[in-house]
Structure 1
């Protein structure tokens, strides 16, 4: 009985750890309002506090680290289904985290210009914010679609969680990619309601997955 208990404890702890990490990827939601001032055309030339922007950057760093950690936490379990795809998920999450770090670097560079020389700064420094928006689209619109396509497929095949949950992630990839392309080609704006709607299924999948893993763990019959 002791051996059985030990064998179950490890997958359970893995599930809870991965679930918590997936929920942590939602901590950057407030950046929508925290970065509001940065997107104003006269931000660099207007005196004011940069606290909200710095907090937003720190939240995004937490998200980036959680992205990598969640994939690493799931790797030992998912590799039993398909080691190559499980490794691809880790690589994809690392790439996503890298783009987030680059985006945060643009934000903090803009903050530094604002702090050091607001009155003398070149208005073209707002280009940093534009670069952030593009890095954000790549890291938090395009890459999540790749991540969830891999994760959804691996979870669907392994039956570690209910297949209905896995299908939400797989199906959600298509509207997210469509929304990303629509923004890139200028069909809709990044802050439009259509852009937000395109990400709903992927957000629902990751939120539900995090909650499920914490509350239920992996399906026991699939761990054999």
Structure 2
């Protein structure tokens, strides 16, 4: 794959990840919101499944960005490139666990509706547990792990000058803020879905969209790529 192809694919995947994550969360509405979520979830089963499909697209997109950026990141620092791939895969795994939790909640809702709401307390106890699985994976994946991943690739882009420096600066700022947001949410300072959570997450979203548009329109800086390739060859020659 050429560098230009990798840049375009990475840009498309970032946009796809952002759109699918937002659409998926909106489609999950009936089963995640309100007191009557078991009944509402069963009545909107296809919508919930479609939301899960959107999140699976998010998972594929996240893994895709890691693999398309790896050859470029490793030219600057192979260790950071490997860390980025591993943590991005871990983010994808955590999100997948959340998807399983939501689909399990849908199954529970269908059983609840079919049983005529008998033993409602037990169903709601199980539903609360599955809600917790989704909430914690939503916090650890798209917030905690995302902050680590974004910091890694933004740092490499900043040092290597593969992109204009305002983009990785925005990326590192957004990564730090979304990581802080995740920590504050973990300790209950404010809830996951809140004004503060949205404010602290906005810069990392702006970074991903800015990065995606730049990669689609301009790609990576050719002189920086040439410099990285030359440095890589010199390092390999010295190592050999």
TM-score strictly above 0.5: yes
Distance 1:206 1:103 in 2: 22
Q: How far has the Cα of 1:136 moved from its partner?
A: 0.6
Q: Does 1 or 2 have the higher relative contact order (CA < 8 Å, sep 6+)?
A: 1
Question: Which of the two has higher C-alpha Rg?
Answer: 2
Q: How far has the Cα of 1:96 moved from its partner?
A: 0.3
Q: How far has the Cα of 1:116 moved from its partner?
A: 3.1
1:106-145 equivalent positions in 2, closer than 5 A: 106-118=101-113, 119-120=117-118, 122-126=123-127, 127-145=129-147
List alignment gaps of at least 5 residues for structure 1.
1-8
Which residue of 2 is the match for residue 58 of structure 1? 53
Give me the CA root mean square deviation: 1.5
Greater Cα shift, 44-53 or 203-212 = 44-53
Which residue of 2 is the match for residue 87 of structure 1? 82
Aligned residues: 216
Report Cα offsets for 1:84-131 as digits up to 9, x if no partner: 101111111100000000000000001111123322461112220121
Is the aligned partner of 1:97 residue 2:92?
yes
Which residue of 2 is the match for residue 202 of structure 1? 204
List alignment gaps of at least 5 residues for structure 2.
227-240
List structure 1 segments (4+ residues) > 4 angstroms apart after TM superposition.
none
Q: How far has the Cα of 1:45 moved from its partner?
A: 4.3
Q: Is the 8 A contact 1:19 1:214 kept in 2?
A: yes
Which residue of 2 is the match for residue 4 of structure 1? none
Q: Is the 8 A contact 2:178 2:204 kept in 1?
A: yes
Which residue of 2 is the match for residue 32 of structure 1? 25
Q: Is the 8 A contact 1:99 1:135 kept in 2?
A: yes
TM-score, normalised to structure 2's length?
0.86
TM-score, normalised to structure 1's length?
0.92
Q: Secondary structure at the match of 2:22?
A: coil
Structure (1 or 2) with the greater helix fraction: 2
Is the aligned partner of 1:42 residue 2:36?
yes
Greater Cα shift, 158-167 or 176-185 = 176-185
1:135-214 equivalent positions in 2, closer than 5 A: 135-214=137-216
